[in-house]
């Protein structure tokens, strides 16, 4: 039997592990064990994803909660180490680039348990981003590196990763998107906010570089005021963003529809029906590419350049004037469908499960 421990800690992880848990469960001789670190723990950021995506209940919940990067990473490691010693898994599978990803990868590597990293090789080349450090260190200790696109292979080879460890499998987030796209589109969630399909902008902001800087956040809000004059704006605000707005007593633009985070199906529906998406999220760049919806990334860089070269994404930075100019260009043009990167076909999870089974000797 092959015992595989799958780690999930935060909202993006849940979307990625949903198809993987299903694929692993279908491999004869494989025992998948789901561990929820509790990095995201409230109903809107955790529970709703397990319900909507039919993810099995975690075998273990570590309950680490929020905190600084160092404190959160340390708490995950302290809680995960005895679990490894208790279960003795054959593999630990981590996904993405959150603190739980790095913490569990480091702990497993120190316990000589091989690590497989799903969504490996992505690089923004900006080490002011905590996620960039998590990505680099996780890849460095992993024995299997499952990459979503070709440029990730180049990045890993540049860092000295053995080619035999690298496997191009596609984008696992697209597996989930394709599975639930029809259901999500049928919801027409935009109508519940008084919006018409194809006639609103959807905004997400949560990166510390954007929301922890009062001057930058105020500038982005002023940009949204100008956008409001052209197009209704819906802003499902991450808890981190809401906390900053409240702490600084920021006055929101009149008419801006600000709401709490929404579940996966509703957010997928909102993306699919939007005329334009503005975001600093990596996952949203990928999802809008798959949906063919124009996306403006409010950062100076992206670890997902394939969404620009193939898809519908433009990296426009954080200067309000530059963003507004890009908005005008998008609104004046036919969005077009864009192209899908190779292997973004909804079959990534079975590819990963097959490789793990082969390596583990149960295929």
User: Could you tell me the CATH number of the domain that includes residue 151?
Assistant: 3.40.50.2000
Question: Catalytic: 206?
Answer: yes
Q: Assess contact for 250 and 219: CB atoms under 8 A.
A: no
338 or 2: whose pLDDT is higher?
A: 2
39 and 98 share one domain: yes
Six-digit token string for 347: 């079959």
pLDDT in tens, 113-155: 999 999 999 999 999 999 999 999 999 999 999 999 999 999 9
Whether 248 maps to a domain, the answer reads yes
Specify whether the CB–CB gap between 204 and 288 falls below 8 A. no
Question: Residue 336: pLDDT band by 50, 70, 90 thresholds?
Answer: confident
- The rounded percent of the chain whose pLDDT value lies above 90 is 78
Question: What is the overall mean pLDDT for the chain?
Answer: 93
| Mean pLDDT computed over 328-332 | 95
Confidence of residue 41 (pLDDT cuts 50, 70, 90): low
Q: Is 35 helix (H, G, I), strand (E, B) or coil?
A: strand
What's the CA dihedral at 303, 309, 311, 316 to 10 degrees? 60
Q: Which of 36, 40, 153, 206 is catalytic?
A: 206
The residues near 334 (Cβ < 8 Å, ≥ 6 apart) are none
268 part of a folded domain = yes
Residues 37, 116: one domain? yes
Q: What is the mean pLDDT of residues 47-58?
A: 88
pLDDT winner (highest mean) among 40-44, 132-136, 213-217: 132-136
- Residues 112, 191 share a domain: no
Please check whether residue 123 lies inside any domain of the structure.
yes
For residue 186, being part of any structural domain is answered with yes
Rounded CA gap, 289 and 174, in Å?
10
Question: Is the pLDDT assigned to residue 354 strictly greater than 60?
Answer: yes
Domain that holds residue 260: 178-331
What pLDDT, on a 0 to 100 scale, did the predictor assign at position 208? 86
User: Do residue 21 and residue 136 come from a single domain?
Assistant: yes
Percent of the chain with pLDDT over 70: 98
Same-domain status, 95 and 142: yes
Q: Answer yes or no: is pLDDT of 297 > 60.
A: yes
Spatial separation of the C-alpha atoms in residues 259 and 248, rounded to whole Å: 18
Looking at the domain assignment, is residue 119 inside a domain? yes
Query: Of 15, 16, 66, which Cα lies nearest the Cα of 37?
Result: 66
Please state the domain count of the chain: 2
- Looking at the DSSP bridge assignments, the partners of residue 258 are 235
Kindly tell me if the per-residue pLDDT of 42 is higher than 80: no
Give dist(CA 98, CA 170) in Å, integer: 20
The upper half-sphere exposure of residue 38, i.e. CA atoms within 13 Å in the direction of its Cβ, equals 15
Output the pTM of the full model. 0.94
pLDDT at 304 over 80: yes
How many CB atoms within 10 Å of residue 101? 31
Averaged pLDDT, 340-350: 97
Residues 106 and 246 in one domain: no
């Amino acid at each position: 039997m092959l015992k595989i421990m799958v780690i999930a800690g935060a909202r993006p992880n849940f979307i990625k592990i949903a198809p993987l848990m299903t694929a692993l469960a279908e491999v004869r001789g494989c025992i998948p064990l789901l561990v929820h670190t509790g990095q995201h723990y409230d109903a809107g950021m955790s529970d709703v994803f397990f319900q909507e995506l039919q993810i099995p209940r975690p075998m273990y919940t570590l309950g680490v909660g929020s905190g600084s990067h160092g404190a959160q990473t340390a708490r995950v490691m302290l809680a995960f180490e005895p679990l490894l010693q208790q279960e003795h898994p054959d593999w630990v599978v981590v996904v993405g680039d959150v603190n739980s990803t790095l913490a569990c990868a480091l702990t497993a590597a120190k316990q000589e348990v091989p690590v497989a990293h799903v969504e490996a090789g992505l690089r923004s080349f900006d080490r002011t981003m905590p996620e960039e450090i998590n990505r680099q260190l996780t890849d460095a200790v992993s024995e299997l590196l499952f990459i979503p696109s070709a440029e990730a292979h180049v990045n890993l080879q540049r860092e000295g990763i053995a080619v035999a460890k690298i496997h191009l499998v596609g984008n696992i987030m697209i597996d989930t998107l394709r599975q639930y796209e029809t259901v999500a589109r049928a919801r027409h969630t935009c109508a519940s906010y008084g919006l018409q399909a194809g006639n609103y902008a959807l905004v997400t902001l949560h990166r510390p570089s954007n929301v922890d800087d009062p001057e930058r956040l105020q500038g982005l809000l002023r940009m949204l005021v100008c956008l409001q004059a052209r197009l209704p704006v819906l802003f499902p605000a991450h808890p981190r963003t809401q906390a900053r707005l409240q702490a600084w007593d920021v006055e929101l633009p009149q008419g801006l529809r600000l709401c709490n985070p929404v579940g996966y199906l509703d957010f997928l529906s909102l993306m699919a029906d939007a005329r334009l998406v503005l975001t600093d999220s990596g996952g949203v760049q990928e999802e809008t590419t798959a949906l063919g919806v124009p996306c403006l990334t409010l950062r100076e860089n992206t670890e997902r350049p394939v969404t620009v070269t193939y898809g519908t994404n433009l990296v426009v930075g954080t200067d309000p004037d530059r963003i507004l100019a890009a908005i005008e260009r998008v609104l004046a043009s036919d969005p077009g469908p864009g192209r899908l990167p190779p292997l973004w076909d909804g079959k990534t999870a079975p590819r990963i499960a097959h490789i793990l089974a082969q390596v583990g000797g149960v295929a």
